[in-house]
């Protein structure tokens, strides 16, 4: 169900928030949709179920524009993205139905726990990666789930998280892409392709099950489009190593802080 909430002057912060999230997300991959639900819940008093559905709608432009920008720069492994994405579509539809079983309080607490896990995963993924061994987090997942095709497992897990929490499903997608030893720039672009497929599927489910505030969607989208266009251009100028690691660490710390806030509210 979609609706328009009455305009409030503090909504004018939403385009700026959208720009920052869109830029960071398209720079490092993952879609950035993680930030929208906690921002809407904590700072704009939006009910959890509405925040989840609205977040998915606002994330779509980031994923689409960011993925297109990375594709033009040659930063997407299409074949890998399709393996992850097809499994993610199934997971996103399942995750959207899971949301309906949780109360707003349970959904908020579950989101906080997910945020803490996500922050830790990105910190591991942002560290130095040996060309032959991949990330330590990726190796852990590979040892535990080596009997399942990597792309399908990680893609499905990302889809479930996208549909359930209205976020980008970054943790399993990034972990999976690092586990198969893709270069960082390919991870940024390919993850956006995967997250776009997941987000479309989750959004379709929430059109039936969730409440989408179009007033907030349009205001957020006004910023995310500009930010998503800028991100790949900034990434293209990165030197491998220090810059990429710094951005990921800042991203991870912000996510950890949001997780703590969600658990405390």
Instruction: Please give the average per-residue pLDDT across 88-96, as a whole number.
Output: 80
Q: Tokens 């524009």 sit at which residue?
A: 65
- Report whether 202 contacts 166 (CB < 8 A): yes
pLDDT digits (tens, 9 = 90+) for 115-150: 787 677 667 754 444 444 444 444 544 444 443 456
Q: Delimit the domains of the chain by residue range.
A: 12-264
Between these two residues, 64 and 216, which has the higher pLDDT value? 216
Instruction: Please give the DSSP secondary-structure letter assigned to residue 74.
Output: T
In angstroms, the Cα distances linking 121 to 115, 138, 210 are 10, 9, 29
pLDDT digits (tens, 9 = 90+) for 164-206: 766 666 667 776 777 677 777 787 788 888 888 888 877 777 6
Q: Is the pTM of this model over 0.75?
A: no
Between these two residues, 239 and 51, which has the higher pLDDT value? 51
In angstroms, the Cα distances linking 171 to 1, 15, 111, 120, 265 are 29, 26, 13, 9, 23
């Amino acid at each position: 169900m979609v609706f328009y909430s009455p305009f409030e002057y503090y909504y004018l912060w939403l385009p700026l928030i959208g720009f920052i999230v869109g830029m960071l997300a398209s720079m490092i991959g993952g879609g950035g949709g993680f930030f929208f639900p906690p921002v809407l819940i904590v700072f704009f008093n939006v009910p959890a179920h509405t925040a989840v559905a609205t977040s998915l709608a606002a994330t779509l432009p980031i994923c689409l524009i960011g993925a297109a920008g990375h594709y033009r720069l040659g930063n997407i492994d299409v074949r890998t993205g399709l393996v992850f994405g097809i499994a993610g579509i199934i997971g996103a539809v399942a995750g959207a139905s899971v949301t309906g079983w949780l109360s707003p309080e349970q959904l908020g607490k579950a989101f906080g726990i997910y945020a803490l896990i996500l922050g830790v995963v990105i910190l591991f993924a942002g560290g130095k990666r040996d060309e032959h061994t991949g990330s330590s987090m990726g190796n852990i997942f590979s040892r535990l789930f080596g009997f399942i095709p990597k792309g399908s497992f990680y893609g499905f897990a990302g889809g479930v998280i996208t549909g359930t929490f209205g976020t980008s499903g970054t943790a399993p997608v990034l972990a999976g892409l690092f586990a198969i030893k893709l270069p960082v720039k390919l991870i940024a672009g390919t993850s956006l392709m995967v997250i776009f497929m997941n987000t479309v599927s989750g959004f379709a489910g929430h059109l039936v099950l969730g409440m989408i505030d179009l007033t907030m969607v349009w205001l957020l989208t006004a910023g995310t489009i500009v930010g998503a266009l800028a991100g790949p251009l900034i990434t293209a100028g990165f030197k491998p190593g220090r810059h990429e690691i710094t951005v990921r660490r800042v991203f991870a710390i912000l996510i950890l802080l949001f997780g703590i806030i969600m658990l405390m509210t």
